[in-house]
Amino acid sequence: MKPLSKSHPLEIGAAYIRVSTDDQTELSPDAQARVIMDSAKADGFIIPKEFIFIEKKGISGRKAENRPEFQRMIAIAKSQKPAPFSRLYLWKFSRFARNQEESTFYKGILRKKCGIEIKSVSEPIMEGMFGRLIETIIEWFDEYYSINLSGEVLRGMTEKALRSGYQATPCLGYLAVGEGKPFIIDEKYYPVVEYIFQAYYSGKDMNAIAREANQYGFRSRRSNFFDRRSICRILTNRFYIGEVNWNGITFQGTHETRPSVCSIFHDVQKRIESEYRPVNRRDVSSTSHWLSGLLKCSTCGGSLGFNRSNDQKKRPDFFQCWKYAKGIHPDSCSISARIAEKAVLDSLQKVISTEVVEYEYIRKTDQAVKGEEIAFQETMARMEIKERRIREAYENEIDTLEEYKQNKLRLKMEREELEVNFAQVREKAASAPESVPDKAELLRRISAVYEIVSNPDIDYETKGNVLRGVVKKIVFDRKSSLFSFYYYIS
């Protein structure tokens, strides 16, 4: 790349800047920008402020899709012809990409499609095929360095853990101080941990603790609402009694712990083991109910899960909103199974006796059309692969521009023909005469469903299947204790 003469008008350039988190000798963004600007000026280029693309600190160069400024730079380069800038300046080629496949792909776009040169100000190379070869070797080395670095980092972290070094993200109630030193207690959030342990030790269950913690305005380590799972993770985290675990390596830490948690930790574990011991599949399947999946919460729209009671005299089987069961839902939405069953039977019987019912007609999916749709989607997916391959063949200089244009035109014609054929199939199916079941047919079906659902000798699975043939969903409003039935026919 030869610099322009002083008499030649200034050309427009661009700069892409990204700071590597693993290179201790890396220039800062400002320093990179300064060196790039000086190099561009010497070449007879000017770089406007809007064409300086700087990634936020800490963004990896491994994947281009995760770099917003890089994607914005590519989009601007492709936005018009000719491209709004004619040369892209980098501090190093590794700033462009540390993935050789992506580097080749995006450089092909800039060079071949947009006519943009790419220059590394710290790695000057000659023009022509030898210069391109050197550039490719640099890219290969950068990718090897990146892959090798991840392995070295893992080995270093493992060695650090074996030497009792602290490196994991601190759990709720602790702060990291760096350099592998023991974490320190965060006085602002450790009281939340103490509250959780003391509340569970005093007899409250995890769901109740989660709801109360959310009401008090407490939040998790990542500022999320608490649920049963996050409460359980805190209660079973042995870091609070001094043990440190990283990637399977465990050691006795030297960080501060407090009696308010340590003194009750083992009693808490005993209660968790007794109340939340694993159940086998037979126990789980025995709790299914023919209304499972049909009952919905009026507040959040979530399903009411079936719960089998261990003491039918104290509390019969019941349905409960799953979000409340996880500690997310603020109010309880529950109903006993017996009352829910009676409400369903009463609704079916009322429809049969009065012949009054509001319902929705749901058109059946034509299986032939469904099969054609699946085949069409699979063919289009294969077409996208072909299109990507011919583009790569051109960008890698395997095919000429003329060959690329011919292949692209051929695939375009195939795609259009497929779209037209599938549109005709759908249009034919939509215009086909359809026999729509009337209200009398729905009433007949409801009557048959009632006979099956009200029979105590018929299994839950059969009852659930036939009921779903006429009922889309059942919404329960806990505050008014009312059920809303949504009937349908197809």
Averaged over 313-338, what is the pLDDT?
79
Same domain for 424 and 444, yes or no, is no
Which helix (H) or strand (E) segment holds residue 17: the answer is strand 11-17
Say whether both 219 and 239 belong to one domain: yes
Please, are residues 193 and 172 in contact by the beta-carbon 8 Å criterion?
yes
Q: Please say whether the beta carbons of 72 and 78 come within 8 A.
A: no
Domain check: are 194 and 250 in the same one? yes
Does residue 471 share a domain with residue 350? yes
Write the DSSP symbol of residue 239.
Answer: G
Query: Comparing 190 with 377, which gets the higher pLDDT?
Result: 190
Say yes or no: 102 and 238 in one domain: no
Nearest one of 30, 128, 24, 111 to 395, comparing CA atoms: 111
Supply the pLDDT for residue 192: 92
Give the CA angle between residues 476, 480, 486 to the nearest 5°: 35
Alpha-carbon span 400 to 386, nearest angstrom: 17
Mean pLDDT of 460-472: 86
Whether 256 is in a domain gets the answer yes
User: Looking at per-residue confidence, does 129 or 486 come out higher?
Assistant: 486
| Same domain membership, residue 402 and residue 469 | no
Residue type, 325: A
Per-residue pLDDT, 374: 64
Given the residues 5, 7, 20, 298, the one annotated as active site: 20
pLDDT at residue 484 is higher than 50 = yes
pLDDT of 414: 83
- Asked, for residue 284, whether it belongs to a domain, the answer is no
Q: Is the pLDDT of residue 250 over 70?
A: yes
CA distance 226 to 455: 43
**What is the pTM for the complete model shown?**
0.38
Does 25 have pLDDT greater than 50? no
Of 165-179, 357-371, 430-444, give the lowest mean pLDDT range.
357-371
Average pLDDT over residues 55-69: 70
Write the pLDDT tens digit of every residue in 260-273.
999 999 999 988 88
Q: Domain holding 45: CATH number?
A: 3.40.50.1390
In angstroms, the CA 420 to CA 147 distance is 47
Q: What's residue 325's pLDDT?
A: 64
Q: What is the reported pLDDT for 88?
A: 93
**Domain span including residue 251:** 174-275
The model's confidence at residue 341, banded by pLDDT at 50, 70 and 90, is very high
Residue 323 in contact with residue 297, Cβ under 8 Å? yes
Query: Tokens standing for 105?
Result: 């792909």
Residue 120 lies in a domain: yes
Residue that finishes a domain, picked among 225, 256, 275: 275
23: in domain: yes
Residues 129 and 254 in one domain: no
Q: What is the mean pLDDT of residues 463-486?
A: 90
Pairing of β 52-54 and β 304-307: unpaired
Domain co-membership, 128 together with 85: yes
286 in catalytic set: no
What is the average pLDDT across 139-168?
59
Residue 17 lies in a domain: yes
Does 62 fall in a domain? Answer: yes
Residue 287 clears pLDDT 50, i.e. is over it: no
Q: How big is the CA angle at 203 (ends 201 and 207), to the nearest 5 degrees?
A: 100
Q: Of residues 239 and 57, which shows the higher confidence score? A: 239
Residues 102-130 have a mean pLDDT of 77
**Which of these ranges, 23-27, 311-315, 373-377, 417-421, has the smallest mean pLDDT?**
23-27
Same domain, 50 and 119: yes
